[in-house]
Amino acid sequence: MKSFVFKLKALLRLKENKRDVALSQFAGSIQEVEKLNTNLIEARDRQESIFQLMQERQKGSFRGEQIQSLQSSLDLERERISKIELELKQAQEIKVSRREIFLSKDSEYKAVLKLEEKQKEAHYFQENSKEQKELEDIIGARFLFQRINRQA
């Protein structure tokens, strides 16, 4: 029986490499979204702590420059939160697009893999049929040989 040789092995490796690259990029996007979520939570916590500190200072005796300093810190945190929210939204859009790219590359890879399996099955079926025919020919020849020997 001849061994099976998949002629599109290079294509299969190429599709696999592209799939791996797409998966890596998708994983990087997920990490970026998680990092930005963490940054957003931290920024909101800082804003809340500044706001609470500002409220405490307003209850007691306070100086104008302290409140002004806290107010500017609060404004900076609001700007930082807005910036992080925008980056997070963009990162989530990138994550979605990279997920779609990965799924596309994965399906292309699986299609070539499935083609390989079908070709392998067809090869083994064909080789098995050849072997079966050879065995039938041998059995038929032996039967004829024995029949000729009996008549002689």
Give me 1's structure tokens.
């029986």
Q: What is the pTM of this model?
A: 0.74
- Average pLDDT of the chain is 91
Q: Which two tokens stand for residue 39?
A: 């940054």
Which of 38-52, 60-74, 87-101, 103-117 shows the lowest mean pLDDT across its residues? 60-74
The string of pLDDT tens digits covering residues 47-83 is 999 888 888 877 776 677 777 888 899 999 999 999 9
CA dist., res. 152 & res. 149, Å (int): 5
Q: φ and ψ at 26, to 5 degrees?
A: -65, -40
In angstroms, rounded to a whole number, what is the distance separating the alpha carbons of residues 90 and 78? 18
Tokens 């007691």, residue located: 60
